[in-house]
Structure 1
Amino acid sequence: MSASAPTPFAALHRRAGEPLLLPNAWDHASAALLAEQGFPAIGTTSLGVAAAAGLPDGAAATRTETLRLARRLGRTGRYLLSVDVENGFSDDPEEVAALAVELAGAGAVGINLEDGRADDTLAPAALHAAKIAAVKAAAPGLFVNARTDTHWLAVPDPGPETGRRLAAYQEAGADGVFVPGLTDPSAIEELCATLDVPLNILYSPAGPTVPHLADLGVSRVSLGSLLYRTALAAAVAGATAIRAGAPAPSPGAEVPGYAAVQAFHHDRPGPGAASDRG
């Protein structure tokens, strides 16, 4: 698709001064709740998908679970879906491209493809670029967000290596680039000035706010596994408080009732009663 006619998902990355805030879901209910709050696009969190299945994240162990979730979420029509596919679950670019075709067929409009490996090393930049090129050739309408883990892994002086990798990924056809772990405002602004594609930053509670990231030129802000980990913390806090004889702590928002959550089931309508059966 030409730059003058971007896909709806790509267009969300091109709103001046208004980055796409992408919350990350781990199942149907979390995606439905986020969509109800008006988020036009939702990503998946690879940690949430992996942990829910009792599998490790970043170890190419969740291809089946990721595809199953994409098929569940990609056909609702209520939001645009981007899928975190770790490193594509393979070092064979053609296998990664085949997965991309399956995800596009399931209704996904984008993928997040990372160059970090389970052994805490970076894949060769040329290999990652080959994966990007293969995906764009096989599924040209899919928005490829090319992630580099230079700021998360033990890369000394990561700035130059980040720039080198992002240049290669842009050249390979990436629609956007993602640098999790980068929180320094001046480095973010500098990087934005060198890129021809949108920059995605992972939100950090200790880093710049979303309005500040917008001022720096960031086009997309992902929440990653933050919401999933927050939900786990709320579950533990509630259970332990009740065990101790205290009221359940307030999560800061109204807890949805049984009927409201049941209504998110898109195969059948929820019950009228507000009972709590499980």
Structure 2
Amino acid sequence: MPVAPPNSARDFRQLHEAGLLLLVNAWDAGSARVMESLGAKALATTSAGVAWAQGYPDGDLLPVSRLLDTVAAITRIVKVPLTVDIEGGYSEDPNAVGEVAAGVLEAGGVGINLEDGSGSVDLLCAKIEAVKRAAARKGADLFVNARTDVFLRGIGPAERRVEETLARARRYRAAGADGLFVPGLKTPVDIKAIVTEAGLPLNLMAIGGLPPASELASLGVRRVSAGAGMAQSIFGRIAALSADFLRDGSSAPPPEAGITYPALNALMAQR
């Protein structure tokens, strides 16, 4: 499994330097190919979607081998850069997390998301440092997007969450992070404060109440991720169609399906 070409990593990094990168989150090779065909400049994985597609719950429970197989399958069929959500790195051992990142590089990824969740700031810093060392050993430019869950988990008093996020951002930047992901952040005044002070490109997650893309771009946000919502919707649609079929054997494709069998087949044949 070859490391992604250097120009792919360079292109991905440049997408964070100006404008707003809209990242759709795939969960397997087929979903990634469809998303790429619609003009995506880069792709991301959703940890939840990948885990569900493999029959595991989200939450650092997916076997790393299954993750890397998925990454390799996606990079085989798409040409745009791929960044991979590795949750907390599937280990509390920073060196083991570094090996996961090395595996992502070998499978063709050019970036990762690595989260603090409910863990300590010190631990995520150690993981970032280990990941950067592992990438350096491979001579690869891995984009590390440090995710902090201060807003998503409601950590600390509401009036101090911007301050806490910025304190973490400074630590993560010093450890080697290339981007900052703050899911749950959606208030323009808070977004602007973090954009101004964090010193890292800011990534947000698409959620209800988030300002439109044009406003986010004007605030200086560099990246918005779709998250697990698309995968969740698709699994919901599968459940509805399966329920219909199991009830009365109805097998006619719904009119809103949108992509024909020949079109899907042709997409997968284009490499």
Show structure 1 runs of 5+ residues with no match: 1-5, 117-121, 270-278
Q: Where does residue 10 of structure 1 map in the other structure?
A: 13
Quick check: 1:139 aligned with 2:135?
yes
Distance 1:52 1:97 in 2: 25
Quick check: 1:152 aligned with 2:163?
no
State the superposition RMSD in angstroms. Answer: 2.2
Deviation for aligned residue 1:74? 2.1
Quick check: 1:170 aligned with 2:166?
no
Q: Where does residue 104 of structure 2 map in the other structure?
A: 103
Deviation for aligned residue 1:259? 2.4
Give the secondary-structure state (helix, strand or coil) at the position aligned to 2:113: strand
Distance 2:53 2:241 in 1: 19
Give the secondary-structure state (helix, strand or coil) at the position aligned to 2:203: strand
Distance 1:188 1:29 in 2: 34
Distance 2:216 2:178 in 1: 19
Q: Give the share of equivalent positions with the same residue, in percent.
A: 39
Counterpart amino acid of residue 192 in structure 1 = V
- For residues 154-187 of structure 1, the C-alpha deviation after alignment (integer angstroms, 9 at most, x for no partner) is 4122322212111100110100010001111110
Task: Select the residue among 221, 227, 233 that pairs with 2:224.
Answer: 221
Give the secondary-structure state (helix, strand or coil) at the position aligned to 2:204: strand
Distance 2:61 2:167 in 1: 25
Q: Where does residue 184 of structure 2 map in the other structure?
A: 181
Is contact 2:32-2:78 (8 Å) kept? no
Distance 1:92 1:33 in 2: 36
- For residues 6-65 of structure 1, the C-alpha deviation after alignment (integer angstroms, 9 at most, x for no partner) is 8110100112xx211010001111100011011020000111111122211113334222
Question: Aligned ranges for residues 246-265 of structure 1 at < 5 Å?
Answer: 251=256, 255-265=258-268
Deviation for aligned residue 1:236? 3.7
Distance 1:70 1:124 in 2: 28
Distance 2:63 2:213 in 1: 31
Distance 1:228 1:77 in 2: 19
Give the secondary-structure state (helix, strand or coil) at the position aligned to 2:195: helix
Is contact 1:60-1:90 (8 Å) kept? no
Distance 1:58 1:176 in 2: 22
Quick check: 1:82 aligned with 2:78?
no
Deviation for aligned residue 1:73? 1.4
Show structure 2 runs of 5+ residues with no match: 1-8
Distance 2:187 2:255 in 1: 33
Deviation for aligned residue 1:207? 1.6
Give the TM-score normalised by the residue count of structure 1: 0.84
Give the TM-score normalised by the residue count of structure 2: 0.86
Give the secondary-structure state (helix, strand or coil) at the position aligned to 2:114: strand
Task: Select the residue among 123, 126, 129 that pairs with 2:125.
Answer: 129
Q: Where does residue 3 of structure 2 map in the other structure?
A: none
Is contact 2:33-2:77 (8 Å) kept? no
Deviation for aligned residue 1:240? 5.3
**After the TM superposition, which of the residue ranges 152-161 and 101-110 deviates more from structure 2?**
152-161
Higher helix fraction: Structure 1 or Structure 2?
Answer: 2
Distance 2:93 2:102 in 1: 15
Distance 1:146 1:59 in 2: 16
- Relative contact order, higher structure (CA 8 A, sep 6+): 2
Aligned length: 253
Distance 1:98 1:221 in 2: 27
Distance 2:153 2:196 in 1: 24
